[in-house]
Amino acid sequence: MKSLAALSGPLADRTLLVVLGIAMVALAFVALRRSTRWALALWLVIIALVPVWIGFNLGASGNLYVPIASGVALIVIATLIPGGPVRFTLADGLVVLLVAVSAVATAVSNSSVALSFLLSLTIYFVVGYALGRLAPHRIDLRWIYGAVAVVFTVVAILAILESLTGVNVFVGLHASNSQYTLWGPLQYRGGELRVEGAFGHSIALACSLAIAIPLTLASRLPSWLRTCMVLVMLVATTLTFSRVGILGAVLGLVLSILFLREGLSRRMRAVLATGGAAAMFVLFPVISTVLTAAGSEASGSAAYRGDLLTLVGQMKPIGVAGSARKSADGQVYFGNFRSIDSQLILTGLSGGTIVLAAIVVALIAAIVLVVLGKGSAATIAVVAQIPAFATVALITQYSIFAWFIIGLAVTSQLTPGAKELADVPGHRALPSPLPTVQQRVLVGGRAERTSQGAPTQPD
């Protein structure tokens, strides 16, 4: 009887927490259901300002970690349903294929590694993708762009303040879990702090800011305000001293100036080109000085990524590579590599060459859309991230946000699924429906590396 009484206490406490959790989710659903716009805005604020180590553990043993950004995303997704018919695309099929292959792999070989990949895929990637696919069916696409612009301008300002003061306030949000241990420590390059905001890593912050640039330019905000926002984002991206993040920001700006079809006049394109060039002219000496001071640390990072190409031959057509293994402390290795600093390579190692080939084809299709001037702002943002997908794993909130933009890109290429911008002066309405080739794109799956360890070589 004593043992039963001893068990009943913790069990009762756990049951009470579960009941309270369900009640809070129900209340949040009712509150957010009243305004899908502000529900999405709340999620964007959480993505941008709540670190990935703030979350909760699920499962019988409590070993399934879910960041709060993914949990809130599920509630927001529920508020968006029903939202009108959603046309199934080849991109959706690619996501289904990735999930199906990952599920099958858990029963075939390297089940523990495959299960880790499947859980990361579901918790981080699929949730973000579903939210991006559904949101434009209930919320005006330009409003979403504007919300991203405002939130990430705040992120950029906080990053600049972090650089000036040397203080990251988000690290003070301590959590006693492995995520905080992994992403909490600050980074330095050449003796200079690499700002990371709430994103846990400078690369994640830089790439997320780079994604926001094309969307900011396509929003309904006044031209002068959009220009100022983009310049602030460029400065903040530079202060991360992430080469691939800076490249993504510049590429997103250039592609937007050349190919963005939404809301940019010739005058604004000229102002952006001039202002962007001037900003990079001023900032380049800062970047060069820090990279030079970093010395072999920066060059070693590039060499390490080159070494990862040796893993390509170890990929299977379907499923986890045979070289995958888990160490005694739960770390995943592919051969002798623990950190796979390439999302494309990691996806091939985790899902197989068939999935990887489909992803590459989808990315090429996205590039074609952009070059032909038929890509939306979200599609341009995805294309500008291709160098990052090739050289960086999707980590922390960046993984969820990137997949949200991928889902947004798919929906924004379809009409009448997404609300387009006929009320913008000078905007030329898109034909409806778009040609079949545009209905059959965009962009495939990747794998998340958070569960596989921190980057051993910084970008």
Quick one: which of 455, 446, 187 has its CA closest to 308?
Answer: 455
The 10s digit of each residue's pLDDT in 170-226 is 998 888 888 898 899 999 888 889 999 999 999 999 999 999 999 999 999 999 999
Q: Domain containing 182: what range?
A: 9-452
Q: Measured between alpha carbons, how far is 198 from 184 in angstroms, rounded to an integer?
A: 9
pLDDT for res 458: 45
pLDDT (0 to 100) of residue 284? 84
38 belongs to a structural domain: yes
Q: Report the C-alpha gap between 20 and 313 in whole angstroms.
A: 50
Neighbour tally for 226: CB within 10 Å: 24
Asked whether residue 65 is domain-assigned, the answer is yes
- 66: helix, strand or coil: strand
Number of domains in the chain: 1
What lies within 8 Å, CB to CB, of 86 at 6+ separation is: 133, 134, 137, 417
**pLDDT tens digit string along 124-167?**
999 999 999 999 998 999 999 999 999 999 999 999 999 999 99
Is 3 a domain residue? no
Which residues have a Cβ under 8 Å from the Cβ of 459 and sit 6 or more positions away? 202, 203, 242, 243, 244, 245, 301, 341, 391, 392
**Could you give the CA distance from residue 413 to residue 416 in angstroms, rounded to a whole number?**
9
pTM for this predicted structure: 0.84
Instruction: Give pLDDT, residue 447.
Output: 35
Phi, psi of 333 (to 5 degrees): -120, 145
Cβ neighbours of residue 324 closer than 8 Å, sequence gap 6 or more: 110, 113, 332, 333, 334, 349, 350
**How large a percentage of the chain has pLDDT more than 70?**
79
**Under 8 Å between Cβ of 419 and 444:** no
Is residue 242 one of the residues assigned to a domain?
yes
DSSP letter string, 275-301:
HHHHHHHHHHHHHHHHHHHHTHHHHHH
Per-residue pLDDT of the chain (459 residues; tens, 9 = 90+): 444 444 444 545 455 545 555 666 555 555 566 688 989 999 999 999 999 999 888 765 657 889 999 999 998 998 888 766 778 898 999 999 889 888 888 877 667 778 888 888 999 999 999 999 999 998 999 999 999 999 999 999 999 999 999 999 999 888 888 889 889 999 988 888 999 999 999 999 999 999 999 999 999 999 999 999 999 999 999 999 999 999 999 999 999 999 998 778 889 999 999 988 998 888 888 888 887 777 666 666 767 777 788 888 888 888 888 778 777 666 777 877 777 888 999 988 888 898 899 999 999 999 999 999 999 999 999 999 999 999 998 999 999 999 999 999 999 998 543 444 433 333 333 333 333 333 333 333 333 333 333 444 445
Is 301:459 a contact under the CB 8 Å cutoff?
yes
Say if 458 falls within a structural domain: no
At 454 the pLDDT is 40
Task: Say if CB 268 and CB 218 are below 8 A apart.
Answer: no
Q: What is the pLDDT of residues 252-279, one digit of tens each?
A: 999 999 999 877 888 999 999 998 899 8
Q: Evaluate whether residue 281 is within a structural domain.
A: yes
Q: Does 176 reside within a domain?
A: yes
SS3 187: strand
Pair of tokens at residue 77: 């997704």
Residue 459 falls inside a structural domain: no
Q: Is 90 helix (H, G, I), strand (E, B) or coil?
A: helix
Cα Rg of the chain, angstroms: 22
